[in-house]
Structure 1
């Protein structure tokens, strides 16, 4: 293959890459996305980077357009040379990598655990020497690899490693969005002309040169390839007119013109190579033999600089591959795939053989469809959800029997939906719907279509669809029907006040008419019955059955972890609705731990958000912030829906008005667009807390009215508390009393100390004299659980404010100092400021915080310090926080410096307050 001409320009780009290597040599990890259009020179810059990486271990991969459906294909290219280090990894990560790469028949690994394994491999290798990972053509990575590499890119910090991706446009690989970028643009006019002169030493008309330079926009590959499509006459006289098609297409056309001059056998060999995404030279030659092609067919393509088959098949440029394959006729492609299928060993690589066989025909063929279905099963075992869906989709297309085709299309739709492609799944459901399905399959089709609607919008259209699915399933499979009723009820809870057709009451009534639970009932059966009672018969009637359901989901019940992970968000909302702070804490804690242990990619961020809310109410703002940031980091790395309500609530309790309103307005805009009415209640409650803390009671009253205007599960009771205080401060005593009556109905039935405590201070707010003081004292006495510490601080504040108004200044100062100290230590600055102002009015003064903010720990540093204090090792901390052990050590070094200590043992002798974050 011909060598590229020397670099023209690119001084800034090369300097940036050289500086990247310098930083990594200084043990500072670097991540970079090299962005630019096709042919602009990204690959040449990556070559320069590799040549400059002396002393590095280098692994390079390239995405291939025809490998995008092969799960972990790109990651395997990078990790394969490092797999000898796999035995050093923790067992879950080691096993996940083995399953992902087909080294074992273990169950499907979660992508999150695979990501941890890749991060562990990286960390193990960099203990010996710096590592450079280079990924070219990242826009053609399979999705699992892209997600995993993005996960790793967001977590390298203290390792001497560089991750460099080359991609055409960020939109092509959304997983890489937000990473540092190096934009590679076209060459300047002078360098473009010099490059043309280097490859065209003969006569070139100045007008032609100017046109080529202008139309190529300085794209080096275009400058090299486009002139070769013009005749000497055209070059000399300018009679050849370049078309106005996109540059990538024009470059492809340039390659195609070169292909047209090749012998038919050579073109057939190139097509066969293009049809194989692996680049296996031995496989290519076996396929070529079946086509009657020999080594002489390769020579013209090599002479033209289009392909290299030394060891591995490599095209000069990905556009060569796409040009060859994209312009071949369908019979030509089928012939190439047929030869590759015949050349593939069915025992060694049955899945790729089935894939080629499937693309070698358009005629329905049950034997091929059955092979694809078997391949889908193996892909599912390896965790390849996207590959599973692709195999099943093609199997359905090639199935001659309409009954089998319907079953396979329905299964393919389920797999495609789980792979994160709801629109494609909906199209497969349309195929299944045209086939003869039995009643159960038809009901499952309706259910999946409803689940897709819920996943896409979480809005008001999903509940009636899920309810319809449940009622179709009811006479066919009682267990599945009850699951669908619970899904419908959960969707109705999300849709909330924006749901006009199938609200929680309507779904609850339908569920009670549906099939009863079998004995013994599953936890989800108890949950469905409890929620149905709550919405059909009212809050008070629902307390007892919902308590039984909560117990079934509790840590001592020994329930199915998978069931817990799927449904935990509902019992967590129920626990908050019942003011059960112990179960509220336990459900969130267990769900988070299960999510970490299983690497549950889709559900862990929600569990972290729930756990963050628990820490917030416990007055542990640093831990809450760390968990909230972790949830956001995971969703950023995986591309899943963001989990930001805990961040909004944290900002509200802190009194950070600008930040809280930014989160609130962003969230409200999105929930209204989706029809997610529950978000309106969440927005109202959070902003009511914010404005009550800031003392802006009229604004708080407006927000609290909105939040309390609808019975959102796990929100309405909290909103009523804010409504009582805001109404009292605004002089709306009748409204405050009405809100208190609604609250008392709930808190009395719940009967917990948390419920009785907030009821007591709300009663005090609308009372006078000894009755008010008795209620304030009761609130403080009841709110002793560590899970509700922020509410105890608020009770002290309200009592102190009342005492000041009663002109009992000495007593008021005691309560207000306690409130100020507790709010200040947790970071609830607005409520702390309220306490400070009241203290000044009593003639007292608030203590000042004397710790230098520069010596305070960041949220992640604080969390690492607490885990180290509990005795966890660096690998154990890294596994829990999804970072590498080296990154843990990096943060601990900063912790030791800030805390002025030198060892982990000294952490245990420090007060808890020293480990709090900024």
Structure 2
């Protein structure tokens, strides 16, 4: 079988019926019927090749539209290869053939006489080898030829002759009344269509793939042709086509399938069909709201007869037989015909701002204020429903139709801003340039905003962008810029400052915001107080957030995103979790994709906090793919930072360190303190998971000095427990206590319940015995605990250790058991091992995992004993002629075999192993 035949997909049932037809011993006929492009010719090609290989002589004929009016043109194609045998026919049969083929004059024979002569000729040809006649596009056979072929096809029994005819389902032919058995080729299923696309075009984007599948509607020819015309640039305009060619562009081959039938319609009927085709075409991935009635086509009997339309049985309305019919109608219409249709549809949809805007824009040529205003209002409507990419196109078109240069420049600036929020950074920069050319300014405020976002997202540039935006704020204040421009300037300034995490940068930002006085939007002040110095300004943020979210229903997606960031910084994100996830799904395809990236960050952080770590890793992978595909290096490193946190919590130490190193190497030279602090936080958690408390203290105190909280550092409060725990384990009790007291005195509990939980736990861990008991009891019962299970488990572990020191073994075992259970559920293996080790030390038998000293190699045993004796890696390496790095690698393998997580536990582990299993359990 040929490679082409191997590529026939989704036709197993039909191929089996055709195979049974060709393998049958007696003569017979079969009709393949289906829509244009459904794959009839491919199956006929396959039958031809198979039959030739099976010993058939195959004769093929192709119906041609231009010859459909020539009597016997089709029959001549079919019989011409066999005519040399007509000398063996009797005189009457040979005479009948000579007359119809112009070799002799005389009266034309009847269908029966000619049919019998053809049947006799076929019998002679099949006397030496079986014969297969294949007629493709039989609907274009001229009437006399089709009648004779149908006559013959009904009388093949007893002959070694088979006839296979391919016919269109929507075109009448003389074969229709022959009563021949048929195989109906339906459109391919969705699954088969996907397989065909994957085979022929494996590199399609998801957007183009969906457009092709929707418009091909299971038609194989369309599936193979449309990817050649639906390029990425075309796909981006198909969401809402404002140029009047509303419909998918067709190749010439696809256009020709319908061209004749469309041109044969009367002008009034063709205009009716164009109006129907242009109304409500869903070519893009963003569903359009439909609030009014669809256009109802009337007086289209000619189109029904041509097979272009069918009737919807549920409504009785005329509908197009296939999506390609609609696209062909639009493509074949003249510009004047399309504009007239759009004008009529704009009147029909006066009550729907978006649908009216689409048609007005396509019907209008010259600038017109009313149309531009409608488009601008429609753009704002689109952004609120998740169609930010559509809004860019509408604002750009509104600028083209603006009468004044000021309106045109303003609308191009708005389009540039929304493009920046839609991950269309190249388009945003181009729109900014156009806006500057219209206004005559080399770099207006809109250009500063857009270029600042681009530089921040792509390169993590927080230094030069901050300087430029501060200057633009000063210019806006002097010039009295409009409120929306001021708000956008201040918001981008806050975003830059947030990523810098630099108190000096924030000082200039605060001064710029204060200089605007009442012109600063209340939401901007919420962002400032939560993204910046939350310790000193965050006590009222949660209350203000509740009010803001209540007013935000149907708001701009970037405002919702910024509020969600504020909610995270005061640990209120869980309250808005369903809303956030809906926004991600709504905006991900053609909405504010840039904001989707930030929302995915927040979804992932929420999953980390709530203990859904598998889901968090999935969100991280999804986010990395999205950000890297758009070139958003800043956001990609954020996802790496969050993945590093998960790895550190789970005890995946090597992966955590790799991610920490990559983040730090990218962020530190750029001054992106937000990420360098995350790198420090990953380092602290990784060290805590490994039991390396000295390293943990160095990392945690690098974020904030014990006893204070570095201003404008989001990680300063979030690493409260890390710093206190590391300080206690390294003998720095005074520093631990001062930090716990600083948390109390800063009233962190007023900022968020989680910070209240951490503050209570820190005070318990560092207080005297009387104070500690009460505070631990409050901490483990804190209402925020279940929402932050990893924090709660760590507090339970610390509580158990305090209880064991207080010689209350039963209570300590209960605390260790609760901690171990939570760690096990989370997948925090290193922490789980530590809890179980403490549980055993408290006197509760714990099943061993098959490790222990017996599992150590001789060298590992020697290293373990030397390390337990207090020797450093360098000293051990010198004694055993190993590098300190190799010694560290061995210890990394030794700890899990002994069921411990730190060097400090080596001596006890080796001693317990020496006592034997029974002694250890006692």
Normalising by structure 2, report the TM-score: 0.50
Separation in structure 2 between the aligned mates of residue 594 and residue 382 of structure 1, nearest angstrom: 14
Q: Are residues 52 and 573 of structure 1, via their aligned partners in 2, closer, same or farther at CA, if it must alter by over 3 Å?
A: farther
Distance of 2:402 and 2:684 partners within structure 1: 59
Say which is worse superposed, 641-650 or 509-518, in terms of deviation: 641-650
Match of 2:546 among 544, 548, 551: 551
Residues 217-236 of structure 1: pairs in structure 2 closer than 5 A: none
- Residue 837 of structure 1: SS of its match in structure 2? helix
Query: Would the aligned equivalents of 2:372 and 2:398 in 1 still touch at CA under 8 Å?
Result: yes
Question: Which residue matches 2:812?
Answer: 812
Aligned to 1:617: 609
Q: Is the 8 A contact 1:577 1:714 kept in 2?
A: yes
Aligned: 1:586 with 2:575: yes
Aligned to 2:517: 515
Q: Structure 1 residues 741, 401: closer, same or farther in 2, change over 3 A?
A: same
1:487 pairs with one of 461, 483, 492: 492
Q: How does 1:322-471 map to 2 (within 5 A)?
A: 341=335, 345-348=339-342, 406-407=409-410, 409-410=412-413, 413-414=416-417, 416-418=419-421, 420-436=423-439, 442-460=444-462, 461-471=464-474
Following the alignment from structure 1 to structure 2, what is the Cα–Cα distance between the partners of residues 128 and 342?
A: 38
Moved more, 383-392 or 561-570: 383-392
Q: Which deviates the most, 425-434 or 507-516?
A: 425-434
Q: Counterparts of 1:638-787 in structure 2 under 5 Å?
A: 642=636, 644=639, 645-672=641-668, 676-708=672-704, 711-712=711-712, 714-748=714-748, 750=750, 754-782=754-782, 785-787=785-787
Deviation at 1:516, TM superposition (A): 1.0
Match of 1:132 among 184, 193, 198: 193
Contact 2:749 2:759 in 1 (8 A): no
Q: Are 1:607 and 2:587 counterparts? A: no
**Secondary structure of 1:429 counterpart:** helix
**1:273-312 Cα distance to aligned partner (Å, 9 max, x none):** 99999888479999xxxxxxxxxxxxxxxxxxxxxxx999
- Structure 2 segments unaligned to the other structure (5+ residues): 17-37, 47-185, 236-248, 265-305, 309-330, 347-356, 850-922
CA contact (8 A) 1:406 1:437 kept: no
Query: Does structure 1 retain, via aligned residues, the 8 Å contact 2:793–2:818?
Result: yes
Which residues of structure 1 form unaligned runs of 5+? 1-6, 26-45, 55-124, 153-158, 177-271, 287-309, 313-336, 359-364, 850-918
Equivalent residues of 1:543, 1:749 under 8 A apart? no
Highest CA radius of gyration, 1 or 2? 2
Using a 3 Å threshold, how does the CA distance of structure 1 residues 380 and 529 change in structure 2: closer, same or farther? closer
Shift of 1:816: 1.4
1:803-823 per-position Cα deviation (integer Å, ceiling 9, x unaligned): 444555444323212211222
Q: 1:143 to 1:432 in 2, by over 3 A?
A: farther
CA distance in 2, matches of 1:801, 1:761: 13
How far the C-alpha of 1:844 sits from its partner, in A, is: 1.9
Query: Given that residues 469 and 493 in structure 2 are in contact (C-alpha distance below 8 angstroms), is that contact kept between their aligned partners in structure 1?
Result: yes
- Evaluate the alpha carbon distance shift between residue 340 and residue 676 of structure 1 in structure 2; reply closer, same or farther with a 3 A threshold: farther
Q: Is the 8 A contact 1:569 1:607 kept in 2?
A: yes
Residues 736 and 277 (structure 1), Cα distance of their counterparts in 2 relative to 1, 3 Å cut? farther
Shift of 1:388: 6.8
Specify whether residues 624 and 756 from structure 1 end up closer, same or farther in structure 2 by C-alpha distance, changes over 3 A only.
same
The answer to whether 1:145 aligns with 2:201 is: no
The match for 1:527 is 526
- Tell me, in whole angstroms, the C-alpha distance in 1 between the residues paired with 2:187 and 2:341: 37
Q: Relative to structure 1, is the Cα distance of residues 370 and 338 closer, same or farther in structure 2, using a 3 angstrom cutoff?
A: farther
Tell me how far apart the structure 2 counterparts of residues 777 and 673 of structure 1 sit (CA, whole Å).
Answer: 45
Q: Is the 8 A contact 2:657 2:686 kept in 1?
A: no
TM-superposition CA deviations, 1:339-374 (whole Å, max 9, x none): 96467554349999999999xxxxxx9669999998
> Match of 1:782, SS?
coil
Alignment match, 2:794: 794
Contact 1:760 1:778 in 2 (8 A): yes
Assess if the C-alpha contact under 8 Å between 1:284 and 1:340 holds in 2: no
**How far is 1:496 from its partner?**
2.0
Preserved contact between residue 836 and residue 845 of structure 1 (Cα < 8 Å) = no
Aligned partners of 1:443, 1:126: CA distance in 2, in Å? 54
Distance (Å, rounded) in 1 between the aligned partners of 2:813 and 2:253:
79
2:873 alignment partner in structure 1: none
Deviation at 1:569, TM superposition (A): 5.0
**In 2: Cα distance, 1:805 partner to 1:627 partner:** 41
The total of aligned residue pairs comes to 577
- Asked if structure 2 preserves the Cα contact closer than 8 Å seen for 1:446 and 1:465, the reply is yes
Identify if the C-alpha distance between structure 1 residues 173 and 436 changes in structure 2 by more than 3 Å, giving closer, same or farther.
closer
Distance 1:784 1:385, change over 3 A: closer
Separation (CA, whole Å) in 1 of partners of 2:390 and 2:200: 18
d(CA) in 2 for partners of 1:399, 1:338: 30
From the superposition, tell whether residues 372 and 690 of structure 1 become closer, same or farther in structure 2 (CA, over 3 Å). same
5 Å matches for 1:180-191? none
Contact 2:422 2:592 in 1 (8 A): no
Contact residue 354 and residue 368 of structure 1 kept, 8 A: no
Alpha-carbon contact 1:481-1:515 (below 8 Å) kept: no
Q: Residue 687 of structure 1 contacts residue 703 of structure 1 at CA under 8 Å; is this kept in 2?
A: yes
CA deviation string 1:412-453 (max 9, x = no partner): 5446545533234324423432444699x9433433333333
Equivalent residue, structure 2, for 1:855: none
Deviation at 1:606, TM superposition (A): 3.6
Q: Are the equivalent residues in 1 in contact too, given 2:527–2:566 (CA < 8 A)?
A: no
CA contact 1:816–1:839 (8 Å) conserved in 2: yes
> Deviation per CA, 1:614-641, whole angstroms, max 9, x where unpaired?
3433344455556556656776899975
Give the distance between the partners of 2:40 and 2:648, measured in 1 at CA.
50
- Once the 2 structures are TM-superposed, how far is the Cα of residue 505 of structure 1 from its aligned partner? 2.5
8 Å CA contact 1:561, 1:594 repeated in 2: no
Distance 1:379 1:573 in 2: 25
The 5 A counterparts of 1:260-279 are none
Distance 2:428 2:621 in 1: 32
Give the superposition deviation at 1:697: 1.8
In the superposition, relative to structure 1, how do residues 747 and 831 fare at CA in structure 2: closer, same or farther (>3 Å)?
A: farther
2: CA distance between counterparts of 1:377 and 1:717?
44
| Deviation of the 1:716 alpha carbon | 1.8
Cα distance in 2, alignment partners of residues 378 and 277 from structure 1: 34
Q: Bigger relative contact order, structure 1 or 2, given CA contacts below 8 A and separation 6+?
A: 1
Query: CA separation in 2, counterparts of 1:704 and 1:777?
Result: 26
Contact kept in structure 1, 2:644 and 2:660, CA below 8 Å: yes
Tell me how far 1:833 sits from its aligned partner. Answer: 1.0
Deviations along 1:510-538, whole A, 9 cap, x unmatched?
212213169xxx76155156459x74xx8
For residues 399 and 834 of structure 1, do their structure 2 counterparts lie closer, same or farther at Cα, with a shift above 3 Å needed? same
CA–CA separation in structure 2 for the residues paired with 1:479 and 1:352 = 26
Cα distance in 2, alignment partners of residues 651 and 151 from structure 1: 40
Structure-2 residue corresponding to 1:496? 501
CA shift, 1:492, in A, is 0.7
Distance of aligned partners of 1:546 and 1:371 in 2 relative to their CA distance in 1, 3 Å threshold: closer
Residue 783 of structure 1: CA displacement? 5.4
Cα distance in 1, alignment partners of residues 675 and 332 from structure 2: 54
Question: In 1, Cα distance between the equivalents of 2:694 and 2:438?
Answer: 60
User: Cα offset for 1:48?
Assistant: 12
Alpha-carbon separation, structure 2, partners of 1:277 and 1:674: 53
Deviation at residue 735 of structure 1 after TM alignment = 4.2
Q: How far is 1:830 from its partner?
A: 1.8
